[in-house]
Structure 1
Amino acid sequence: MTRPISLPFRSWPVPALLSASRRHPALGAAFLVGPAIAWIMLFAVIPLLLIAAYSFMRSGGSGAIVPIFTIENYSRILTSSLYRRILFESLAIGVESTAITLLLGYPVGYYLGRMKSSVAPFLLLLIVLPFWTSYLVRIFSWLLILMDNGVINWVLSSINATSSPLHLLYSHLGVVIGIVYSALPFAILPIYAVVKGIEQDLVDAAHVLGADEGAAFREVIFPLSLPGLAAAAILTFIYAVGSFLAPAILGGTGAVMISNVIINTFLVLFNWPFACALTVALLLIMLIVLAAAGRLVSLENIYGLRSRV
């Protein structure tokens, strides 16, 4: 008769830990959440703290960091017109890309959220399909579309719409187009999820009270979809301001964003303290935007922490 194999994990204290977690809920929560928190602390919080610490140090050249406290890096950002202009342009591109993405994404998210057809899952698949392709490949495809002899200018010249090619590549507009294309799924999916969760009984009640389709949308659907719209705006803005490949490939020297400057300062100039200061400045901008969004729309509603409608 074959003897049963003794597996190593039988000696693990998992049953004891599970039993203790039932008696002490706090221990159970630590057992479940602890690994994730430790991972975030190790690979997110601690590196950010190191970046913040390095930003107050001096550069010794060739990537060396001199551990002498200084605020010179931040004063350089505030006093230099070049870096102020780059920060302003990054914010402008972020705001423009966010506005265009929401204008294009809200109708799609609303339509899919209200659709009762079985085609809706297939349409959602088409929206997330670009994620199956390399982001670098997708941006390079726009390089072929936006160039002076690319697809857009070929179509315009074929219909005699323009007498000369439009200079879309290596420009502010080209960067916005690339970011909007890449950010659209991040805007459509939160809006779809929130609109999908709106109870049909509320819309039916509005119709019973005399509201037509337009009034029901204005008074019921749109206000209840604001959390999804706010979540889409936050995701899109953070993605747009921190974008690197789109301005690097489609913008060239015509639209330089702060992320490109950070990469260049890290890897080309080897001025790590100043690059860390630029990173902290970008992070502070993100936090300010998130705090402002939290004042306008409750973060509990944005991330679905409150009860559903």
Structure 2
Amino acid sequence: MRAFQVTEYGKTPEMNEVDLPQPGPGELRLKVAACGLNFADLLMVTGEYQERPPLPFTLGMEISGIVDALGEGVAGPAPGTRVGAFGGRGGLADYAVVPADRCLPLADTMSFEEAAAFPVAYGTSHVALSHRARLASGETLLVLGAAGGVGLTAVEIGKLMGARVIACARGAAKLQVAKAAGADHLIDSDAQDIRQAVKDLGGCDVVYDPVGGDQFMAALRATRPEGRLITIGFASGEVPQIPSNLLLVKNLTAIGFYWGGYMAFRPQVVTDSLAQLYRWHAQGRLHPHISHRLPLERAAEGMELLRSRKSTGKVVITP
């Protein structure tokens, strides 16, 4: 089968012919229907992600497909079942082996492409906003990188939770995508002073930040007393150094958040979150935004769309 693999950290991934993977105990094999790309995939290529799998490995964290085979001790989902899964890697291939307990059967209301665009982005935003930041109805949420894969879901979920949402993104086209997801106010990070623009809107209670760098620092200074700032990632390439005196003076809380980490130490948080998110989707309250759909042989092009920030929402690869 085909697999889009990292063979050396820092080297361009390759499309390779590899043996069909066999599921081990507690695992199942999927015939991949779709795979969502994430900024984390770019970090995995360079070895900068929190996890460094042994080489070579196949990229692709979020997967949807049809159960093809069960490993030892796995009772289900049964072969032929449509499922979505967070495999961590392995999805950019014709077949993928994933832990059975990370698979959820898909409702008829969810397409394979939507399922591949769902768990990481929506799961990250929901657990970050509800479990970590305790976002309350009526509070003001500032979302940086609001047209990106996770940022757009933060806009949508924040609005669903009753917040007033300020979306910050680069350029009018991306801001319109954020507006369509429910943003109440828009800030163009290319043309406006983020700190002043947020202050003009009365400040914010919660900052959702997948960007880092100067944008985080601007948001920090526009956050109201007792506000919370959630660090999701550093798409800007710059890790901000937080002046603790500002946290002290304004009684602020800086919150680190890594969704994948909960798989190891509190998996029930992720399981409960995904169950709620799937219910909201079935009720028509969540609408995954997919800007690009590409075949597996164009996976490198999909990665470049993320790197160059030319996509909005999700890029999905379909073998």
Superposition TM-score tier, normalisation by shorter sequence = under 0.3
Of structures 1 and 2, the one scoring higher in RCO (CA 8 A, sep 6+) is: 1
- Report the TM-score when normalising by structure 2: 0.22
User: Considering only CA atoms, is the larger Rg found in Structure 1 or Structure 2?
Assistant: 1
